[in-house]
Amino acid sequence: MIAFFNDILQHYSWQGLALIGVLLLLFFVQFYYYAIAYYRIYRYRLMRRRKKIVDTPPISVIVAVRGENEEFLTNELPALLHQDYAHFEVVVVYIGGDIDYYDELQLARENYSNMRLTRIGGDSRIYISTKQALNVGIKSAQYDALLFTIPGAIPRSEQWISLMSKGFERGTVVVAPAVPRFEHNTLKTFLMRMVEFQRERNAMSRAVRDRLYYAPRSNYGYTRPLYESTRGFNHLGIDIGDNDLYLSSIATPERTAVVLSRHSIVEEERPARWSEWLELMRYYASTRSYYPASAKTLSRRERGSRVLFFLATIVAIAVLPLELKLGAVGLLLLRYVIVLWSSRRTAQRLGEHGIVLRYWIYDLFGPIVEWMIGSRRSHNTPKLWR
């Protein structure tokens, strides 16, 4: 036996065997992420959780609108008001001083009995934070189950509130996916979509394990008693964080319900220009430094092991004997099959589609885009006060 191993060592050298060992280790790290961690999203079923309250709780949908937003008035608000649900209201908090626009919102309120409207911030010299506006909306709402969305977002289905109500039947913190919406479908926008898909996949893979640290700004909710018992938002020195920093502080395994259905998806409008999209991603990442260490390392380990696996494969193909070259290529192909199989199934639950033929583009270039996002801070990091 010793002679056998000595022959192997003499034939392949310890450097070659070490490279194969590293390649196998990185393969199994990638296997864990895609075949186990991310695959939990596909296997998750909300209905397995026990109900805590009666069916169809009344729901208040709260949205803060800053300035004159015609798209919200003409398309997004009607989509919210025409949801197919028995007992709900839409609470609009208008931040701004445009009297004409506010009059149009008032006209919409007169036409819909399930709409509430309030206005703050008529003085342009005083900045009203989003958290202040949401706090006003929470106080104005008449129901205890609170759903939050944002301008620029629109539910894919009239069943959105109905599906989210299933979460409120089983938890006091409810989250669901959101997908980016681009005007054109190009290779560039596909890469943008996949970067956001990967970020949401990391978040939802932890959420279904009751370790929530993030939810899309357009698709989450909690109950008013929970909000009041925790004394409202934290991190008041920044204008965002209501969907991640606050949720991570109140979410527990007993409270959290994740709704994964094609009818619970919300689409968020995104800029088509590369520079504007990068700035938006940096803006949303402004709160990451406050995340728990386990959440911050989740995406870094996957991305790092992916890059190292590709590099180790390239080196193995370049320097190892033929049979080990073929083994490295085999591992590379096997990994991609697993990644594609897992990504296709999780994409179905997270509202993405059409990724099979082009996923290799993100697989190769996604780490570069993530580096571009993380290499600079947002120009609009929303610091307000300390």
DSSP secondary structure of 129-145: PHHHHHHHHHHH-SSSE
d(Cα 234, Cα 171) in Å, to the nearest integer? 21
d(Cα 272, Cα 379) in Å, to the nearest integer? 19
**Domain boundaries defined on the chain:** 49-186+210-272
Q: Does the CA dihedral 248-253-256-257 come out positive or negative?
A: positive
d(Cα 166, Cα 280) in Å, to the nearest integer? 31
| Structure token digits, residue 200 | 């949401």
pLDDT for the residue 14: 53
pLDDT for the residue 263: 93
Q: Which helix (H) or strand (E) holds 333?
A: helix 322-350
The answer to whether 189 touches 182, Cβ cutoff 8 Å, is yes
| Structure token digits, residue 26 | 């990185």
pLDDT for the residue 75: 94
pLDDT for the residue 235: 87
The packing angle between helices 322-350 and 293-319, to 10°, is: 150
d(Cα 279, Cα 283) in Å, to the nearest integer? 6
pLDDT < 70: residue spans in the chain: 1-16, 122-124, 380-386
pLDDT for the residue 385: 40
Residue position matching structure tokens 């020195």? 237
Pairing of the two strands 266-269 and 178-181: parallel
* Residues β-bridged to residue 175: 220, 258
Pairing of the two strands 145-149 and 220-223: antiparallel
Rounded to the nearest angstrom, the gap between the alpha carbon of residue 315 and the centroid of all alpha carbons in its chain is: 35
CATH of domain 49-186+210-272: 3.90.550.10
pLDDT for the residue 279: 93
* Burial classification of residue 66, based on how many CB atoms lie within 10 Å of its CB (0-12 exposed, 13-18 middle, 19 or more buried): middle
Residue position matching structure tokens 């509430």? 116
DSSP structure string for 26-66: HHHHHHIIIIIITHHHHH--GGGSPP-S-SS--EEEEEEEE
List Cβ<8 Å contacts ≥24 apart for 357-366: 358/187, 358/190, 359/194, 360/336, 361/187, 361/190, 361/191, 361/194, 362/190, 362/191, 362/194, 362/195, 362/198, 363/306, 363/336, 363/339, 364/310, 365/191, 366/191, 366/194, 366/195, 366/198, 366/303
DSSP structure string for 229-296: HTTS-S-TTBS--TTTHHHHHH--TTTEEE---GGG-EEEE--SSHHHHHHHHHHHGGGGGGS-HHHH
